[in-house]
Amino acid sequence: MTSKRVSSVLALLALSPGQSVPFDQLVDELWGDDHIANAKNALQANVTRLRKLLASVAGREGRELVRTVGTGYLLDVRPESIDAHHFVALADEGAALLGQDPAAAAQVLEQALARWRGAALLDVSEGFRCRAASVSLEERRLTAYEDWVSAKLAAGVEGAPVPELRQLATEHPGRERLSELLMLALYRDGRQTEALDVFHQARRRLAEDLGVEPGRSLHAVYQAILHQDDALGRPRGSLALIG
């Protein structure tokens, strides 16, 4: 079983593959304000364990994978071989496609989200850098998820994940885009009353949790649904009028 300190060293090096991470930065991340004797030796012991671990799964010498460079260590791998970097690259690609080819964007963003297998940096220490990276990656995942749902709706793909959207919108009241997407997904599913109710629920949560009113975009979606604006697309099960 890999210790949290070994996992933390790997995480820090993997966040910047091909770049040297200074010894002092690694020591600070692993032990923080806990002053220990021979910190550099303790760090080296964890790096030795990491090298052995990587060598056993990568088929390369540990010292080739985790190299000592000047006053730091460097993880010598391609960025795209690391899930976090591959995810970000795919998420950026999908976001760029969103306004041009929503169907293609949905496929790329689905691939990006498939890189996730749980919370970011779950098994690492509580050091500042790991915590900050975890928050940043989780934020990026939510944005990619929003882009994915937007792409599916724009492409007219059925099966927008209403239950998951509802849960996320409740957990993240400040992310109004989640509520907008939930409203649109419900409207497209022929559930106009539920879609309008989402707006009122979001409005209450924003007032109670943040002391603010919904933004213009959320208001605009509410008004469009209220008036059954054609720009929203036709709800499922609606009847075409024959003139």
Strands (E), the chain: 21-22, 66-69, 72-75
Give how many domains the chain has, as a whole number: 3
The per-residue pLDDT for 1 is: 53
Element (DSSP H or E) covering residue 135: helix 128-155
Task: Looking at the structure, tell me whether residues 66 and 94 fall in a common domain.
Answer: no
pLDDT over 70 (residue 237): no
For 56-96, the pLDDT digits (tens) are: 988 889 999 999 999 999 999 999 999 999 999 999 999 99
Query: Phi, psi (5° rounding) for residue 58?
Result: -105, -15
Do 96 and 151 belong to one domain? yes
Q: Residue 241 region, left (φ>0) first, then alpha (ψ -120 to 50), else beta?
A: beta
Q: What is the pLDDT of residues 15-50, one digit of tens each?
A: 999 999 999 999 999 998 777 878 889 999 999 999
List, for residues 93-143, the tens digit of each pLDDT value: 999 999 999 999 999 999 999 999 888 887 786 788 999 999 999 999 999
The verdict on 175 and 139 lying in the same domain is no
Q: Which of 96, 86, 147 is nearest to 117 (CA)?
A: 86
Burial class (CB in 10 A: 0-12, 13-18, 19+), 126: exposed
> Is pLDDT at 11 greater than 70 in this prediction?
yes
- Sort 83 into a burial class: Cβ within 10 Å, 0-12 / 13-18 / 19+: middle
CATH of the domain at 193: 1.25.40.10
Q: Which domain holds residue 87?
A: 79-157
Of the three residues 157, 186, 218, the one that is the final residue of a domain is 157
Confirm whether 58 is domain-assigned.
yes
CATH code at position 53? 1.10.10.10
| Predicted pLDDT at 241 | 31
Which residue among 19, 44, 77 closes a domain? 77
Residue 240 placed within a domain:
no
Instruction: Say which amino acid occupies 172.
Output: H
Three-class SS string for 89-102?
A: HHHHHHHHHCCCCH
Rg (CA), the chain: 23
Residues 226 and 171 in one domain: yes
Of 77, 106, 132, the domain-final residue: 77
Q: Do 171 and 222 sit in the same domain of this protein? A: yes
